[in-house]
Amino acid sequence: MALIATPIFVAGAPADADAFAEGCYKANANSLEYMNGNLDMNNIPTAGVIPAISREDIQKGALSRSGGVSGTANLDYFSNWFETLPNTTGFGPNNDLSCPADPAANPSNQSKYIAIPGAARQFYVPYISDAIFTWSIMWVNDSRDDAIFGSKTQATHIRLFVDGEPIAEQTRACSTTYGSFAGVKLPIFLSRARFWHGHHAVKGLPAGHHSISLRILASPASATRGLDQSRVWARSMRYFCFMQ
């Protein structure tokens, strides 16, 4: 909006009723009608560059919004929960989700991912905004790679989805965390766990409802099994939206 410009009466000239009425009521015409909720920063004087408004004048959430979700539980995902993917181009033996195959590159695979509680959030913003998402997650995978089981490393992928769409580079895989160290053998060796403290940014997120989620996809169960279980710890998923 711009500043208000009221009609000027000219001495000696007949008053123009139409111009006077528009000066009082016409919308979007620098009229006094602006006072009906349309006064803005242009109507607030500045001392230098510091305007005469304070934090108390601004509604909560008017300039930015944020929120998050987290969890503390062990989240176990077993291989028989996952279907054999319809498109396994580039995958390893036995249709494993081995690195570096990128399962979400095939659109028919995207629906096979499962959203992780504690790392998935829906939110609303009333304005177009620039958004930053941050998360912290850890996971392990009990597939083996040793003399007994042979090379049966099968990956567990976790990927970021924004509004239901996978993000190209926001994916990480964990191929095995089976560990043998100092005579101790553990299927879930935390020192080999996969940690992902990531962030993503979206410019011009439209007003409305949105969703962000980390989703998991593990190799399905097979006769020549390698992976039985993936365990996830979803520590946080946060969003920060700044009005554009």
Of residues 23-62, which lie at the interface with other proteins (CB under 8 A)?
32, 34-35, 39-46, 48-54, 56-60, 62
Among 73, 76, 165, 199, binds other proteins (CB under 8 A): 199
8 φ, ψ (degrees, to nearest 5): -110, 130
Residue 37: partners with Cβ closer than 8 Å, 6 or more residues away: none
Among 26, 64, 123, 229, binds other proteins (CB under 8 A): 64
Residue 160 bridge partners (DSSP): 214
- Binding status of residue 126 toward other proteins by CB under 8 A: yes
CB of 80 to other proteins, least distance (A): 25
Chain centre to alpha carbon of residue 156: 20
6-25 binders of other proteins (CB under 8 A): 6-13
Considering only the stretches 67-75, 111-119, 175-183, 217-225, report the one whose residues sit in contact with other proteins under the rule CB under 8 A: 175-183
Which of 69, 174 has the CB closer to other proteins? 174
- Binding status of residue 188 toward other proteins by CB under 8 A: no
Among 26, 192, 225, 235, binds other proteins (CB under 8 A): 192
One-letter amino acid identity for 82?
F
Among 102, 187, 188, 211, binds other proteins (CB under 8 A): 102
Which of 83, 243 has the CB closer to other proteins? 243
Among 110, 179, 225, 238, binds other proteins (CB under 8 A): 179
Which DSSP category does 123 fall into? E
The number of residues making up the chain comes to 244
- Cα R_g (the chain), whole angstroms: 29
Among 170, 213, 219, 230, binds other proteins (CB under 8 A): 170
Among 36, 66, 80, 244, binds other proteins (CB under 8 A): 244
Chain position carrying tokens 């990531």: 198
Among 130, 149, 187, 236, binds other proteins (CB under 8 A): 130
Listing DSSP states for 210-236 in one string gives EEEEEEEEEPPP-SS----EEEEEEEE
Among 194, 210, 215, 231, binds other proteins (CB under 8 A): 194
Q: CA nearest 226: which of 114, 145, 157, 172? A: 145
CB of 134 to other proteins, least distance (A): 7
How far apart are the C-alpha atoms of 217 and 12, rounded to whole Å? 83
Which of 203, 223 has the CB closer to other proteins? 203
Give the pairing type, strands 165-174 and 179-181. unpaired
Identify whether the C-beta of residue 214 lies closer than 8 Å to the C-beta of residue 71: no
